Structure 1
Amino acid sequence: MKKVSLVALIVLGTTIWAQNTEIKKTPEVKNSGDKALLVKSDAAELEAKKKAAAEEKAKLPKPYDPKANAQSDIDKLVAQAQKEGKNIMIQAGGNWCIWCLRFNQYVQSTPELKNNVDKNYLYYHLNYSPENKNEKVFAQYGNPGDKYGYPVFIVLDKNGKMIHIQPSDVLEEGKGYSLEKVKEFFNQWAPKKS
C-alpha cells in the first residue's frame, strides 16, 4: 500500500511541476491591452512567415504538371529504364507544396545529387493536386501520400516494380534537406550494377 501511495505522490508531484514549468514559459500578460498586443504580435509574425513562404514558392521551378497523363508517362519511363538499366524515382507532390519544390530545387542545384540522379534514375514528378489527384496511379502504390504526406518518393526498378516508398521528413534538416541523408537515399536505391 505504501508503494502505491509513494508512486501516486511522485506522479502527482511531477504533474504539478510540469504544469508550473509550462505556465512559466507563457509570456506574462498583465491586462487585456497587453494580451491584445501579444495576439497582434503573433498574428503579424505568422503573416510574415506566410509571406516569406509565398515569396520563396514563387521563385522556385514548378515541375509538376496537373495536365500530364501520369500512367502513360510512367509506362514510357519503364520502357526507357529497361533500355538504360536505370531505376525510376517518382517524386509525388504538387506545385502547391513548398517542401516538394524545395527538394526539386535542392537536387537540381546540387551537382553531386544531380549527377547521381542522372546516372541512376529516370526522374518523374507525379502530380497530386485538386486539378488532378491521379487517384488510379497513386492507388497502384498504396496511396503513400495519405500515410506520409508530400513529397513522398516511390522507387521503381527498371521493370516498373515498386521497390521502396520513402517519406521525405527523414531527409529534412532545418528548413531544407540533409546532403548526407539524400545522398544515402539515392545511393541505397540505385540499380545494382553487376
Structure 2
Amino acid sequence: MKKILILLTAVLISSAAFSQAKQEGVHIYNPEANALADLKAATDKAAKSNKHVLVQVGGNWCSWCIAFHNLVDTTAILTQTINDNYEYVLVNWDKDHHNDEAMKYLGFPNRFGYPVFVVLDGKGKVLHIENSSYLETDEIGANGKKKVGHDVKKITSFLKGWTVAAVKPETYKPKAK
C-alpha cells in the first residue's frame, strides 16, 4: 500500500511539474508589452521603409499561434517575404491581457479566433484582417485524414497579396508600348 501511495505521489508531482514547465516554456508573445505603442512604432518604421505592418494576434497559450510562428521561423520563403515587405508585430491576447484598445484599433480581429492577422499600411490604416483558418492545409495524410497545420503556399499568397506593391493601383496599369 505504501509503495502505491509513493508511486502515485511521484506521478502527481512529476505531472504537475511537467504541466507547469510546458505552460511557462513558450515566450513568443509578451503579455506585458504596450500593444498600441508597438503598433505605432511598427507603423512609423513601415512608413519610412515603404512596407506594411503584419500583426499576428494570439498568445503563448495558443498552440496554433506557436505553430504558425515556428513555421515562419523555419521556412525561408515565409521569413524572407515578411522581412522584405512587412514590419512584423506580435500582439498578445490572453485571459489576463486583452489589449482592448489595440483590439479596437485593429477592428476587433479576435472575432475570428487565434492566430489572426491584420495588415496595416504605413499610416496605421487597417487594410485587411485574415482569419488563419483560411491558411490551413488541405493536405491529406497517409492515414487518410486531413493534416493539421498551415499551408506555406496559402500563407505566401496571402502575404504577397497585401504588400505595398500589390495594393498600389500603379502596379496594374498597362505598360506603354
TM-score tier, shorter chain, comes to 0.7 to 0.9
Greater than 2 Å deviation, 4+ residue runs: 57-62
Q: Does the Cα contact within 8 Å between 2:120 and 2:126 map onto a contact in 1? A: yes
Mapping of residues 52-71 of structure 1, within 5 Å: 62-71=27-36
State whether structure 2 residue 160 is matched by structure 1 residue 187. yes
In structure 1, distance between residues paired with 2:52 and 2:25: 26
State whether structure 2 residue 36 is matched by structure 1 residue 86. no
State whether structure 2 residue 114 is matched by structure 1 residue 141. no
Give the length in aligned residue pairs. 139
In structure 2, distance between residues paired with 1:76 and 1:128: 19
Match of residue 122 from structure 2: 158
Match of residue 43 from structure 1: none
Q: Structure 1 163/101 Cα, relative in aligned 2: closer, same or farther at 3 Å?
A: same
State whether structure 2 residue 20 is matched by structure 1 residue 77. no
Identity %: 36
In structure 1, distance between residues paired with 2:25 and 2:128: 27
Report the residue type matching 1:79 in the other structure. D
Q: TM-score, normalised by structure 1?
A: 0.67
In structure 2, distance between residues paired with 1:170 and 1:130: 25
In structure 2, distance between residues paired with 1:175 and 1:154: 23
In structure 2, distance between residues paired with 1:111 and 1:189: 19
State whether structure 2 residue 94 is matched by structure 1 residue 126. no
Report the residue type matching 2:100 in the other structure. E
* Structure 1 unaligned regions, length at least 5: 1-53
CA RMSD in angstroms comes to 2.1
Q: Does the Cα contact within 8 Å between 1:62 and 1:101 map onto a contact in 2? A: no
* Structure 2 unaligned regions, length at least 5: 1-18, 138-146, 172-177
In structure 2, distance between residues paired with 1:70 and 1:142: 14
* Structure with more of its chain in helix, by fraction: 1
The structure having more radius of gyration, on CA atoms, is 1
